[in-house]
Chain A
Amino acid sequence: MYLYDQYDQAMVDARVAEFRDQTERRLKGALSEEQFRPLRLMNGLYLQLHAYMLRVAVPYGTLNSRQMHALADIADKYDRGYGHFTTRQNIQYNWIRLEDAPDILADLAAVEMHAIQTSGNCIRNISSDHFAGAAADELVDPRPYAELLRQWSSFHPEFSYLPRKFKFAVIASDTDRAAMKLHDIGIQIVRNHAGELGASFYVGGGMGRTPMIAPCIRDFVPLDQLITYAEACLRVYNRYGRRDNKFKARIKILVHELGQDEYTRQVEAEFAHMLEQGIEPPLAELERIKGYFEQPVFESGLAADFDRSDPDFALWADRNTHAHKAAGYVSAVISLKPVGGIPGDASAAQMHLMADLAREYSFDECRVMHTQNIVLPHVRIADLHALWTQLEAAGLGSPNLDTIEDIIACPGLDYCSLANARSIPIAQKISQRFAQSGRTAELGELKLKISGCINACGHHHAGHIGILGVDRKGKENYQLLLGGSEAQDTSLAKITGPGFDEDGIVNAVEKATDVYLANRAEGERFLDTYRRIGMEPFKEALYG
């Protein structure tokens, strides 16, 4: 994985010094809260309901064991002994003191990490496929391109005060595991007919209160023009994105209002101009970065099967692993979704254990998934049982990847100052309900996502089943949505009808799954059945 050289280290060290200075000016009153706010936000520090929250960047979700240990240490030293992994492949700490924030950034810098641009109206952490470098179906490892973009976008002088936040995702497989088309810019690395690698640009996707699927505005940008094209996309947005209404300020609104063709025309004109400016890093820089993402040396002749005599282990191994490009290996997913638990939370002890397991079984590497789980990308099938035994003992062995228990949920009203309703208790009740009824396995792949407000941090628009918490006359109310997908068949979920109270929404989810089970054809997932039979049968069961 990528390692800092003296330049990268100098940049994060300068940032720590800058933020220490800014925090001191705030604490002594030289900066007003209004002036300090955008500065702390650009360092990932939010003021939440009860305390400051610090969001730490995990570029494209990749961590080594030293970094995961450091994250655990921060949880112990500055927080309440746990952290929360997010849908942007980052980690958040919810109980931070402002005075400690510069020290935390210094601790992060010591392990080549930071919180730069994890908030604010700037280019945020670049996300990617959590199985990058391991998946059997990928064209190339997408992370070198994400790292190139990370460096270009860090402290970009022109794009630090955009109309609104800006999120990139980079993938390199036809199977989309990163919700690529639901980002401000989604990039897919592709090969053209001449056999050359390049980038397809999808611009103007997003969730939030106006969900949109990004259209492809250019199907092939040569790799030696990648940064220049991104710069052109951003400049048009910075100049013409709406600033009169923060709810209409994302690039998706600009692309929508101008129309895809006109936005593309403006980008192409800016791109032609930008090509004259010589802003593109040389391909040698991309090659240098690629050197850090060399494939580990995989053993050959390994066993492709495992001993199925322990049914609990066999269930976990079947459900929580993903096909690997090297024979005898899999990617193994550590579920952070124990039944009744808080999705994405991990204790310091669990983080230390995951770090040790990454070192022991996965070439010293682990990944944060946007589904709020952790993956060990390169595990020998022969080691799975030993791995599972240790996970199970630590409460990390839930065999529920991609099931109805594998819920994405935002922090909701338990933490977030924007939320209208709690998300976590709904997730807890749903996972308990289905674990108790034993339906989880029968339902198969079913992606359920919960947001506690319209900002959609819990990706409810993209859930096979989505839940949106709203405030109705001072009471929490939950709307049910069906039919979303964040995969390569991206679709936006539709609301079923009137909302439900806290217990009602759990019952409603169960009723929706009953409709699926009663109607499904051979081999159909929930989403497939919904797409075939439509909303009506579900409405009838829910409201009839």
Chain B
Amino acid sequence: MAEELGTSPDEVQFRFRDGEPVDHAAVTVDSFLDQSNATAVRIEPGDDARALLPHLERLALVEVNFPVFGDGRGYSAARILREAGYVGELRAVGDVLIDQLSSMRRCGFDSFAPDKRLDEEDARAAFERWPEVYQPAADARRPIWAKRHGQD
């Protein structure tokens, strides 16, 4: 049995999806690929998110770990999963700070379990900071150029 990793629902501070937080123990990407029944996985910065793509239908939770906030590989991992059609919970865990929240949200994270709980008011302000966006990403926001040219 692989060692169980992952955050518990109690540790999820912000969530942008219906239903209860997924409560499955996440396993490493290697363990996940070896097991036919795992439904939750944790991606570390060095893991290739594309290795999960053949198995998206059985995944209910993907945790993406940020051991240090300055390592931005998790943003690409998140977007790759969303681009491939993953619709399950995508949880940012680890060194998740106020000032990364809006970018993480844009890359497709819909659940946040920071190592250190964040100030609620500061976090709300951060999620709502940007009135507009310049580029499409993994969220549904229309970029400025689409608004300028009347595109959906």
User: Which residues of A are in contact with B by a Cβ distance under 8 Å?
Assistant: 5, 7-8, 10-11, 14, 17-18, 21-22, 25, 30, 35, 38-39, 121, 151-152, 154-162, 227, 235, 238-239, 243, 273, 277-279, 281-282, 284-285, 288
Contact = CB atoms under 8 A, between A and B. Distances in A.
B135 interface: yes
Interface in B42-59: 45
9 contacts: A7-B148, A21-B122, A38-B70, A152-B134, A156-B134, A160-B75, A238-B76, A239-B73, A279-B135
A238 B75 contact: yes
Size class of B's contact patch? 35 or more
B11 to A, nearest CB: 20
B105 to A, nearest CB: 8
Given A239-B73, A273-B83, A155 B130 contact: yes
Contacts of A121: 70, 72
A22 B99 contact: yes
Contacts, number: 100
B122 A25 contact: yes
A121 B72 CA distance: 10
A25 B99 CA distance: 12
Contacts of A238: 72-73, 75-76
Interface of B: 45, 69-73, 75-76, 79, 83, 97, 99-100, 102-104, 106-107, 119, 122, 125, 129-137, 143-145, 147-149, 151
B129 A243 contact: no
B129 A14 contact: yes
A288 B149 CA distance: 9
A158 B83 contact: no
Contacts of B102: 157
A208 B14 CA distance: 41
Contact of A155 (B71, B79, B122, B134): B134
A10 B135 contact: no
B129 to A, nearest CB: 6
Contacts of B134: 11, 151-152, 154-156
B72 A162 contact: yes
A288 B144 CA distance: 13
A282 B83 CA distance: 20
A14 B132 CA distance: 9
Contacts of A35: 97
Given A22-B99, A282-B151, A235 B76 contact: yes
Contact of B136 (A7, A8, A279): A279
B136 A160 contact: no
A20 to B, nearest CB: 11
B106 A157 contact: yes
A154 B125 CA distance: 20
B100 to A, nearest CB: 8
Interface centre among B72, B100, B119 (most CB of A within 10 A): B72
